[in-house]
Structure formats: C-alpha cells, structure tokens
A and B are shown apart, each in its own frame.
Chain A
Amino acid sequence: MTIRQRYWEDVQIGEEIPAMRFPLSIARLVMAAGANRDFNSIHHNSAYAQETGAPDMYANIIFLLGMWEKAAREFIGLSGTIRSVKDFRMKIFNTVGDTVVVKGYVSSKWQEGNESFVSIRIWSENSKGISVGPGQVVITLPTKAGLSDKSHEFWPGFSSPIPE
C-alpha cells in the first residue's frame, strides 16, 4: 500500500477518510493478543468472555485504537503526526465473527504558530451499530506554503499545554 502524502491546504472540511474494514476471526484476535501483549482471556477465549457477561471474545482497546490509527495514517501520509485521540468510547463489544468498519471525516482545520492541525471525526461500526466513538483524532500536516515536511520539526512546538 502506498500512502499518499496529504497537505494541509488540500484538506477540505467534510472530506471523508477512506472506510477501513477489519473482519474479526479467532486467528486475528489471537494474533492481536500476541502482538499487543494484552493477554486478558476476554480477548481470545470465548468461554471466558461469556463467563464475564460478554457475548463472546472481543477486540481490545489497543487493537481498536490501531484501527483508528491505520485509517488516519492512510489519510494523512507519512509526514503527518498524530497528536491526540479523544472520546474513544467503546459502546458495544466488537466480538469475534463480526467486522469492524472505521469511518470518518474532516471536522475542522486550523493553524497555531508554525503548525497546521486537522481534526478528524472518526468512529467504528459493527453489525450492531456504532461500537466505538464517535471521537476525534487530531493530526498535524505539512503545508505546501513553505513549511518543512519533516515530522520532527512539528513535535517540539506542539501547542497544547503540557500538564504539570
């Protein structure tokens, strides 16, 4: 997959990000557990998950966050940076045998100092409806108007106040 670089000037409010599908098989959830190191049995063992009151084994927060990141990254390109995730509320279990679809659109864009931000409104759906979010991923993008494409130059100037 070639990720196209996007520039801040080209982003339009309302522009949709490409939807991404994640079918959830047992194999995938087992691989995810091994990869993200969350070995809580609710995420890879149906009987255990049902004992806890869940309908079946289900995707964990790390895997679900990864779905949002993959969708955002394909939209923003390699020179964009991800600065925050908000309202990542998990409302419905994303259980094995279902397919999670991540969707979103550009909700706002602004510039602060020498950085250019875009907010993406983003959510996950499964067969039962919206399962995660809607939330927000705030990203930075390079501009065509003279700022460097080098991501590291955007990090030091991140303008959200660092909590004390």
Chain B
Amino acid sequence: MEDWKKDWQPMIRAIGKDFHEGVRQWGADPIERGAIRRFLEPLEFDCPLHYDQEAARANGYRDLVAPCSSLFTWLIPPYWEPGRTVFRSPDKNAPAAELPLLVVKTDLAPPTPYYFATNVEIDFFQPMTAGDRLCKVGDVLLSCIPKETRVGRGAFLVWETRVENQDGELVAVIRLETYHYFPHEHIAQKQM
C-alpha cells in the first residue's frame, strides 16, 4: 500500500462503528414556513405543498411540508451560538471559523482541510412538516476507500445516519459519501 494510504488505516479498521451511537444531533431550528419558502426561491420551485397550507391539507398533510431535498437543511446545527466567535478574519476569502455541517469529526482520520459530497442515497419514511424538529441519530461508517483524484489525495467515506423527528419517528435514512482530501498543491508544498 502506498505510504499515504496507510494514514487511513485507523478509519478502515473502524468500518462498522457508529461514531455517534445513541446520540441525537439536532438541527438548529424547527422546520419553519418562512424557511421552507426561502428554500424554494433559488430553485424557482412552484409546488403549493410547500407554500399553500390549504393545498397541503387537501393532499392529506397536516400542514405545509418541506421539500424532500431540504432534509439536510433541517439537520445543520447552528453556525453561531452565544459565546462562539465565527468571523475572525477580515481576509475576504476567510471562511466561517467552523462549518457545523454534517461531517463526522474524528481523530482517526488524517486532518484533511477540504471535503465535498460525492454520492447520496436517501429513503424517506415520513413527510417533513412545518413545526417538526429533526435530528440525526448515529453515524455508522460503512466504508473508507483511500484514493488519489484530480483534486488531491484522500479517502471516500460513506456514512449511514437515521433522521428522526421530535416524536422519535423515523423520517429518513441517509447514506452519504464524501471525499476528504489534501489538495495537490498542499502535498507538493509538504514535499519541498
């Protein structure tokens, strides 16, 4: 095995492990009507189930429902909370200090600076209704495949997560693949 791939062995050994067993990670906010409406805007998504309460009820829902594709939005934790500093630099390209997105942080993986999602499968079991609050339950590592790509060296990780609402009902199961990597420029600088 190439030397750099060996750095991913601890993650490979952890395949099957639930990194957040029994832990409920709640999204920042309940599913809100205004937020549902704003979700529609960049898509120009004209579906009355998401903005017309009467239309939603006429189709059997108890209230407005959020689009299925908004699932992740309701799971993202707060970017800022009292006591936290998010914006520390005037550099125009500085990102927020922390991105509380849905990536599992673990010391078992190399400290890759970048990642992006590459594949997803989602099974939906309940509609996401205005007023609901969603949480992730568990993060099971299904696979870890080290690979060099056009953008850098890293690994493809697949995680399975259950999504429940405030009543403990199963809303969805997500299998998300992300690629975590050191960009080629970083690798070249390190080798100099």
Q: Is A68 an interface residue (CB 8 A)?
A: yes
Cβ-defined contact, B120 with A85, below 8 A: yes
Indicate with 1 or 0, residue by residue over B24-61, a CB within 8 angstroms of chain A CB atoms. 00001000000000111111111111000001000111
Give the residues in chain A near B118, CB-CB below 8 Å.
89-90
Cβ-defined contact, A163 with B173, below 8 A: yes
Which stretch in A6-14, A37-45, A103-111, A119-127 binds the other chain?
A37-45
Within 8 A of B (CB), among A107-164: 148-153, 155, 158, 160, 162-163
CA distance A68 to B124 in the complex (A): 15
CA distance A61 to B177 in the complex (A): 11
CA distance A89 to B76 in the complex (A): 21
Q: Which of A31, A68, A78, A160 contacts B42 (CB 8 A)?
A: A31
CA distance A89 to B119 in the complex (A): 4
Give the residues in chain A near B70, CB-CB below 8 Å.
36, 62, 66
Cβ-defined contact, B183 with A51, below 8 A: yes
CA distance A14 to B164 in the complex (A): 35
Within 8 A of A (CB), among B92-106: 93, 95-96, 99, 101
CA distance A37 to B27 in the complex (A): 11
Q: Which of A62, A78, A149, A163 contacts B72 (CB 8 A)?
A: A62
CA distance A67 to B41 in the complex (A): 12
Cβ-defined contact, B93 with A48, below 8 A: yes
| Number of chain B residues close to chain A: CB under 8 A | 54
Q: Which of B69, B96, B121, B126 contacts A69 (CB 8 A)?
A: B69
Cβ-defined contact, A61 with B72, below 8 A: yes
Q: Which of A37, A83, A149 contacts B76 (CB 8 A)?
A: A37
Task: Give the nearest-CB partner of A52 in chain B.
Answer: B114
Pick 21 A–B contacts, CB within 8 A, sort by A. A29-B42, A37-B28, A38-B73, A40-B99, A40-B101, A41-B95, A52-B183, A53-B114, A60-B117, A61-B117, A63-B42, A66-B39, A66-B45, A66-B67, A68-B69, A73-B47, A81-B124, A83-B124, A85-B68, A87-B121, A155-B125
Q: Is B170 an interface residue (CB 8 A)?
A: yes
Q: Is A19 an interface residue (CB 8 A)?
A: no
CA distance A65 to B116 in the complex (A): 15
Indicate with 1 or 0, residue by residue over A71-87, a CB within 8 angstroms of chain B CB atoms. 00100001101111111
Give the residues in chain A near B14, CB-CB below 8 Å.
none
